[in-house]
Amino acid sequence: MLLGVIADDFTGASDIANTISKGLLGQGGLRTAQFLGIPEENAPADIEAGVVSLKSRSIPAEQAIEQSLAALSWLLAQGCRQIVFKYCSTFDSTLEGNIGPVGEALAAALGVKGVVACPAFPGAGRTVYMGHLFVKDRLLNESGLQNHPLNPMTDPDIRRWLAQQAKDTVGLVAHERVRQGADVVRQILQEASTNGQTLVIVDAISDEDLVTIGTAANDHRLVTGGSGIAIGLPANFIRMGLATGNVGVPAGTEGPEAILAGSCSGATREQVGIHAQNHPTLAIDVDSVMSGETTSEILVDFLSKHRGAAPLVYSSGTPDEVGVVQSRYGRQAVADRLDALFAETAIKLVSSGVRRLVVAGGETSGAVVSALDLGALTIGPEIDPGVPVLLSHGEQPIALALKSGNFGAPDFFTKALERLSGR
């Protein structure tokens, strides 16, 4: 294995696995597998890039560090020459962590400083300029992410945000220096290392900038960022003759389908609304979940009755609705109960024969795939930017789409089910 990734949630893991598998246009990427948690066995010999999916974004920083270092140990044992710490392209984290603490812990374990920190993903509208993170034409704190139920992002200056999490001072490579080329970026990162700066925010407003950053970091043991940071990394291994360039293969399976949506993002709420116009949908009442009235049996019964019609169950709500529920029961209590409900539902769906499963929301996806315990997943074609088809192995493979809340076109759900069937 050449490239190892430690992802702090499952949808983000799929996102960066997709990026690495595609690589640059015309050059191809790396043969990539996504692992659900830290594997107990070695990776298949033909895998060039392995993505370890953790559910560490919103847990205490000490636990996130412990899990990330364990993932690092496994990846190094597979022979990885470079490690990527992947976090959300909207920098989802509280002031207490986990991006800074995990990034510095990995850097310390690898004995490096001057490490790239770049969440930019221009293909999904995430750009970084002068250390400020934009979501399309809005600053991060004006994009709706300030209302995130678990990790509200209230400051677009991610250099300042990261500095409150990190022990060392945080550096910056401004966009004008990125535009001067990979050699300039490499020099500034080396200066940052000499000055004792572990993490360095690097501006990027285009894919070309990300390729420049990837080229500058070709010999770095550690890189951190969103999935976009990996755009230029496969080409480094191809240029060195260590990989030939993966062209990708079709992936999918036929069979009964279901859609589970646990994200409260604006994009997911719009997608649910559009899907509901022509397909059966069931809204989950959180009060009834907390009281025990709504159970996984009820959700499975609804989804089973409507097989073949792309049925969907969802717990998405507006920021005001979410706030009311959280104030009543507690933020973490609500999240834990909904995660458990979706996980139990997914297990029963697969046991009953469902073979195509679409899941929206990072926390929801993490709960579902952890419960299913599918092992390594093959990375298939891209459905929408950042969301590939995932296919499990075995006699009865499961085709999955794990969608981050803000990702996907308005018609994502119906399109995803088509792609999961191999069409």
**pLDDT at residue 71 above 90?**
yes
Strands (E), 210-305: 222-225, 257-261, 281-283
Contact 377, 36 (CB under 8 A): yes
| 63, pLDDT greater than 80 | yes
How is residue 169 annotated by DSSP? -
Q: How many other C-beta atoms lie within 10 A of the C-beta of residue 139?
A: 16
pLDDT of res. 168: 95
What's CA 392's distance to the chain center, in Å?
Answer: 18
3-state SS, residue 13: helix
Tell me the residue length of the chain. Answer: 423
User: Sorting pLDDT into bands at 50, 70 and 90, what band is 248?
Assistant: low
Report the chain's mean pLDDT, rounded to a whole number: 92
9-26 residue pLDDT tens: 888 898 899 999 988 865
If you search the block for the tokens 């015309």, which residue do you land on?
A: 26
Domains and CATH numbers, the chain: 3-239 (3.40.50.10840), 257-420 (3.40.980.20)
Mean pLDDT of 246-251: 69
Measured CA to CA, the distance from residue 62 to residue 172 in angstroms comes to 26
Report whether pLDDT(254) > 90. Answer: yes
In this prediction the pTM is 0.80
Q: Token pair 């847990």 is at which residue?
A: 59
- pLDDT at 160 (0 to 100): 94
Which of 1-15, 127-141, 309-323 is the least confident region? Answer: 309-323
Find the range with the poorest average confidence among 38-42, 135-139, 190-194, 320-324.
320-324
- Distance, CA of 156 to CA of 134 (rounded, Å): 7
**Which span out of 47-51, 89-93, 401-405 was modeled with the highest average pLDDT?**
47-51
Q: At residue 422, does pLDDT exceed 90?
A: no
Mean pLDDT, residues 37-55 taken together: 92
Q: How is residue 401 written in tokens?
A: 């789409």
Q: What pLDDT, on a 0 to 100 scale, did the predictor assign at position 339?
A: 92
Using one digit for the tens of pLDDT, what is the confidence trace for 143-190? 777 777 667 778 899 999 999 999 999 999 999 999 999 999 999 999
pLDDT exceeds 90 at position 90: no
Contact 43, 78 (CB under 8 A): yes
* 316 band by pLDDT with thresholds 50, 70 and 90: confident
At 198, is the pLDDT very low, low, confident or very high (cuts 50, 70, 90)?
very high
Sign of CA dihedral 222, 227, 233, 237: positive
* Percentages of the chain per state (helix, strand, coil), in multiples of 5: 40, 20, 35
Please report the pLDDT score of residue 26 as a whole number: 59
Q: Phi and psi (nearest 5°) for 119? A: -80, 0
Residues 6+ apart with CB under 8 A from 208: none
What is the arithmetic mean of pLDDT over 209-225? 97
Q: 319 pLDDT exceeds 80?
A: no
Residue 85, H or E segment:
strand 82-86
Give the pLDDT band of residue 47 (cuts 50, 70, 90).
Answer: very high
**Residue 374 · residue 253 · CB < 8 Å:** no
Cα(22)–Cα(18) distance, integer angstroms: 6
Sheet strands side by side (includes 132-135)? 126-129, 132-135, 138-139
